[in-house]
Structure 1
Amino acid sequence: MNHTEEIQSIKRIVYYILGVIEVLLAFRFILKLLGANPASGFVSGIYTMTNIFLSPFTGIFRTASARGVETQAVIEPANLVAMLVYAVIAWGIVKLIEILKRPNKV
């Protein structure tokens, strides 16, 4: 594997991890917004998996909710902030890797 392929592989891994986190947080956002039943196994699993990623951002903004006839819709701004922050962090990591892996020109 040459130098360029190695850098590309590392970048793909970073963006893959970001993608997984972003998809999980997007599921959480949609499930909360639609008032999904937290007793459901799938919903509970998503909430459990995403709590660790959301916890640093909880409390930045207040959570809004609207009660319907059968469900309660919840808007978690912290979820959107987390998605943005993780995307910026991943971008920063990739840029740092590119800087550190540049061939030395003397």
Structure 2
Amino acid sequence: MDEGTVRKSGPEHLKAKQIVYYVLGVLEVLFTFRLIFKLLGANPQSPFVSLMYAVTQVFLAPFSGIFPSAVTKGLETQSVLESSTIIAMIVYAVLAWGVLKLIEISRNSHNSEIH
């Protein structure tokens, strides 16, 4: 293998890691918004809140029904603690960590083949 191959593999792995971090960051921010909106009893008819619920629901579907949600009824709003959102945040973070480790393993095995 020539030196060009060695130099090229580093940035590719770095880019892959940056993409994983970016996707995880976006998901975690969306889940955090959802968690806060549910806890504070945000109006689900609000376009922004409705959008956040719709986008995050796709990623929360595998975790629905694991535990019941804690609901507190106030005078004007209903506060909901969705345990599925918290579980999803943890699971996606662990999955991202696993993918990052696989990228590291791939990079290390690629470098050992070159040397």
Give the TM-score of the pair, scaled to structure 1: 0.95
| Pair 1:3-2:9 in alignment | yes
- Kindly report structure 1 stretches of 4+ aligned residues shifted beyond 3 Å: none
- Work out which of the residue numbers 27, 30, 40 in structure 2 matches 1:34: 40
- Whole-angstrom CA distance in 2 between matches of 1:95 and 1:4: 15
- Work out which of the residue numbers 14, 20, 32 in structure 1 matches 2:20: 14
| Offset of residue 4 of structure 1 | 2.0
The equivalences for 1:90-101 within 5 A come to 90-101=96-107
- Work out which of the residue numbers 80, 84, 90 in structure 1 matches 2:90: 84
- Whole-angstrom CA distance in 1 between matches of 2:89 and 2:33: 11
| Offset of residue 100 of structure 1 | 1.2
Give 5+ residue unaligned stretches, structure 1: none
Match of 2:112, SS state, is: coil
Answer 1 or 2: which has greater helix percent: 2
- Whole-angstrom CA distance in 1 between matches of 2:68 and 2:103: 36
Partner deviation per Cα, 1:3-40 (whole Å, 9 max, x = no partner) = 22221111011110010011001100000000000000
**In the alignment, what sits opposite 2:66?**
60
| Offset of residue 104 of structure 1 | 2.2
Match of 2:11, SS state, is: helix
Q: Give 1 or 2 for the bigger CA radius of gyration.
A: 2
Identity of aligned residues (%): 53
**In the alignment, what sits opposite 2:112?**
104
Q: CA RMSD in A?
A: 1.2
- Whole-angstrom CA distance in 2 between matches of 1:35 and 1:78: 17
